[in-house]
Amino acid sequence: MRTMQRLAVFATCAFATLGQPACGLDWPVSSRIITGTFGEDRGDHFHNGIDIGGGSQDVHPVLPGELVFRFDDASDYSSLPRGVGSFVVSPFLNRSTKTWYQMASFDHFGTEARFSFFASCWQHTDNKLNAVVRNSTVLIDLFIIIRLNIAYFNPPLAPPGRGIIFNFLLSPYIDLVPPWIKCKIYT
Catalog residues that contact another protein under the rule CB under 8 A. Answer: 42-45, 48, 66-72, 75-84, 89, 91, 98, 100, 122
CA pair distance 163, 165, nearest whole angstrom: 6
Q: What angle do CA 81, 117, 34 make, to 5 degrees?
A: 70
Q: Report, in Å, the least distance between residue 17 CB and another protein.
A: 25
CA distance 140 to 28: 9
- Minimum distance between the CB of residue 30 and another protein, rounded to whole angstroms? 26
User: Given the complex with another protein, which of 2 and 45 has the nearer CB atom?
Assistant: 45
Question: Is residue 137 within 8 Å of residue 104, measured between CB atoms?
Answer: yes
Q: How far is the CB of 47 from another protein (least distance, A)?
A: 10
- For another protein, the closer of residues 46 and 166 by Cβ is 46
Q: How far is the CB of 15 from another protein (least distance, A)?
A: 19
CA angle 2, 157, 90 (to 5 degrees): 125
Nearer to another protein, 56 or 127 (CB): 127
CB of 179 to another protein, least distance (A): 19
Residue placing its CB nearer to another protein in the complex, 107 or 183: 107
Distances from the Cα of 30 to the Cα of 3, 21, 124, 171, 173, angstroms: 39, 20, 20, 12, 11
Distance in angstroms (rounded) separating the CA atoms of residues 150 and 113: 37
Based on CB atoms, which residue is closest to another protein, 57 or 105?
Answer: 105
